[in-house]
Amino acid sequence: MTQELPCDLEASKENMAIEMDYFSRTLDKVHYDNAVEILGQLKKDGYKGSLPPVNTWELYDQSFTFPRVRKYELVEHEMNILEHFQDNLNTNISNQNLVSRFIQHAKKVQHALSSKYHNGEFVDPSTIDPQAEKDEQ
């Protein structure tokens, strides 16, 4: 059963997963809040699950066009920071303090990688909209 939410999102597990994917890509808290709102509606309808985990580290790990770049010291350092804060958030995904800290540190990682590797070595996941790609197919 799906219902419309005030934010014009259909309350479905698929839309909740889409919003969490957008959050993982863009680090925009609006998408996290949308997913939480969808989860709340789903729970009212009997859903027993929780929010999908944040997967920013996995997206970034696949965003290097040259595997060698992924092994550079700066990249390893930034990816370790990202992994640390993502793991913390995923252990208690409803904790707003962890959400804020994740966003803060993930944006620093995003800036560090995007500014250092801007000649095609790194493709920022926030520049890719998987839903738009699905719509084109």
- Give the single-character DSSP code of 8: S
* Type and span of the H or E element at 9: none
CA distance 60 to 79: 8
**Closest C-alpha to 82, from 68, 102, 54, 100:** 102
Q: Residue-wise pLDDT tens for the chain (137 aa)?
A: 445 555 578 999 999 999 999 999 999 999 999 999 999 999 999 999 999 999 999 999 999 999 999 999 999 999 999 999 999 999 999 999 999 999 999 999 999 999 999 999 999 999 999 888 666 65
